Structure 1
């Protein structure tokens, strides 16, 4: 294996961050699946933000 220690360190950092992000996202999705009204509220907020940001005027 011909990887420098610095490069290996970056791989480990980003790999750990990816695992944390995946775990965090799955916990959020599990929470929102148990609270469907809150999930619909977040969808409505996201749709409103999208409409305001990409308004043609």
Structure 2
């Protein structure tokens, strides 16, 4: 199953995108948005999840 994860320097997953359909990929703009907000995100186990077609 295709997946994209963004992991910070502490090993915390900050972005997770999983979709059974390999043709639906995470938009690079979404990754950039999370990267720009990363310093402002709490240092606890926060995670940003993406959804495709209403499925988590």
TM bracket (short chain): under 0.3
Q: Normalising by structure 2, what TM-score?
A: 0.26
Instruction: Report the TM-score when normalising by structure 1.
Output: 0.26
State which structure, 1 or 2, has the greater radius of gyration over its C-alpha atoms. Answer: 1
Higher relative contact order (CA 8 A, sep 6+): 2
Whichever structure has more helix as a proportion of its residues is 1
